[in-house]
């Protein structure tokens, strides 16, 4: 069974939120430490992938409608 792009987008958005939460929790005195920046970078990549999957979902939906 294939996973739809919409499901993958939701998973990536959830992972992005999780990494943002972990980054906030790992910030001790300042946010400019390696771990916090790494978590924020991974969250950014997850949100980017989620946006791409949502665009793919809407493109496929548009093609099916035509």
* Cα distance between residue 18 and residue 32, in whole Å: 19
* Cα distance between residue 45 and residue 13, in whole Å: 10
**C-alpha torsion 61→56→58→3, nearest 10:** 60
| Structural domain harbouring 50 | 5-65
On whether the pTM is more than 0.85, the answer is yes
Number of structural domains (the chain) is 1
Q: Give percent of the chain above pLDDT 90.
A: 89
User: What would the mean pLDDT of 8-27 be, rounded to a whole number?
Assistant: 96
Query: What does the pLDDT read at residue 30?
Result: 86
Given a cut of 90, whether residue 55 has pLDDT beyond it is: yes
């Amino acid at each position: 069974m294939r996973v739809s792009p919409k499901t993958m987008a939701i998973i990536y958005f959830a992972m992005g939120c999780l990494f943002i939460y972990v980054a906030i929790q790992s910030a001790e005195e300042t946010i400019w430490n390696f771990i916090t920046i790494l978590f924020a970078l991974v969250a950014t990549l997850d949100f980017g992938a989620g946006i791409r999957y949502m665009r793919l979902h809407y493109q496929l939906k548009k093609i099916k409608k035509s």
